[in-house]
Homo-oligomer: A and B are copies of this chain.
């Protein structure tokens, strides 16, 4: 669906929901995401960002009041998109706690693989946000994590999962499995996002399974 042509009009492969921006803003955000992912916020200059979008250094400030606000826009977009994907996965079709949890882990893992450039920025550069922006992002993260905790708790409560599970810790582990891949995932590797999602979902079901059950 997305074309790699980010010079003209295509929605680039590092920015979901890029349609919400004008073409120049979009090019700047795409350039910023790539720069931040490669060198971190503090390792990226405003000249890098503008240059990557084919603009002069000053042009950045026509579209964003500061480098930090460009980062905030990116991080907000990424977190919002991840949240939306989980909500959609949760609503998808009627199913029991196992299927539902597997769908969530699958979707969350696929998200981090498919948008790994953006996801990397969302995980590694949070500390560069100003305190008020950081707090706002943390709120979204909390809601996202809560989806997993509720999904694990549902299976524990109705007896589908191991009743002895520590819900918060298990949910945290599932989130770790999905997120940590931004540290090592490369799109030219042997695994597709779909394969990674399916495998991680399998692991999730192993983690919550009843001891003797199958």
Which residues of the partner chain B approach A177 to less than 8 Å between Cβ atoms? 173, 176-177, 180
How big is chain A's contact interface, by range? Answer: 20 to 34
Q: Which residues of B contact A124 (CB under 8 A)?
A: 124
Q: In whole angstroms, how far apart are the Cα atoms of A181 and B123 in the complex?
A: 13
> Which residues from chain B contact A42 at a C-beta distance below 8 Å?
39-43
Please state if A183 and B179 are interface contacts (CB–CB under 8 Å). yes
Q: Closest B residue to A212 by CB, please name it.
A: B214
- A136 contacts chain B at the CB level, 8 A cutoff: no
A55 CB to closest chain B CB, in angstroms? 23
Which residues of B sit under 8 angstroms from A172, Cβ to Cβ?
184
Q: How far is the CB of A160 from chain B (nearest CB, A)?
A: 16
Q: Is A130 on the interface with B (CB-CB < 8 A)?
A: no
> Is A151 positioned at the interface, with any CB of B under 8 Å from its CB?
no
| Closest chain B CB from A93 CB (angstroms) | 26
Interface presence of A206 (CB below 8 A): yes
Q: Are B206 and A166 in contact (CB under 8 A)?
A: no
Interchain residue pairs with CB less than 8 A apart (10): A40-B128, A41-B43, A166-B199, A170-B203, A176-B176, A177-B180, A179-B180, A179-B183, A206-B209, A212-B212
A40-B42, A170-B203, A207-B207 known; 11 new pairs, CB 8 Å cut-off, are A38-B127, A41-B42, A42-B42, A43-B127, A43-B128, A169-B199, A173-B200, A176-B176, A176-B177, A176-B181, A177-B177
